Amino acid sequence: MNRAVLFLMLGLACSAAAQERRNVFGDPFVQVTSALPACPVPAPPGYTEEEVRNEAHVRAQHGVSCHRSGRCRLSNSYLYDKEIIPRVAQFIRLDGRFGDTSIWAKGERRIVTLMGCVKTREQAAEVERAVLLVDDVSGVINYLVVGTKEPPKYRLAR
């Protein structure tokens, strides 16, 4: 095998390994409902090694500033997420209005990101308002789309 081709293949393999995305921060991510099987599945949280290095400082600063300003009782706002997301999932499932949807929820810094498919724009707004009622949720990012044909506003699972 040609030496140049070997180096090219080695470089591509290293590049692919370097771009592997892992959820090193443990951001919670769950599928809450699943009534629309054709709904595009969002990619779980994940970061490349370079993104981890860049994100670590930002997370430390944002997480602690919540406590220092008096908006969080815990010492870091990321500490809430593993508890919030299961409660968000329970709230949506037990609400009764969202059984005909496919929704995933991700937590990061007390902010819940909703991804998936709903039947109407009104239903997307309703689920966003409902999630804001869950204790310790500070905000909602609504990436829900109507139906299963609309292009998603989120990165897709592979």
- Domain range list for the chain: 22-45+78-146
pLDDT digits (tens, 9 = 90+) for 97-106: 999 999 999 9
Residue in 27, 28, 33 with CA at minimum distance from that of residue 90? 33
**CATH (one of 1.20.140, 3.30.70, 3.40.1710, 1.10.3470) for 22-45+78-146:** 3.30.70
d(CA 44, CA 28): 9
Amino acid at 35: A
Residue corresponding to tokens 């009764």: 96
pTM of the model: 0.85
* Residue 15 pLDDT > 90: no
Token pair recorded at residue 157: 């699972």
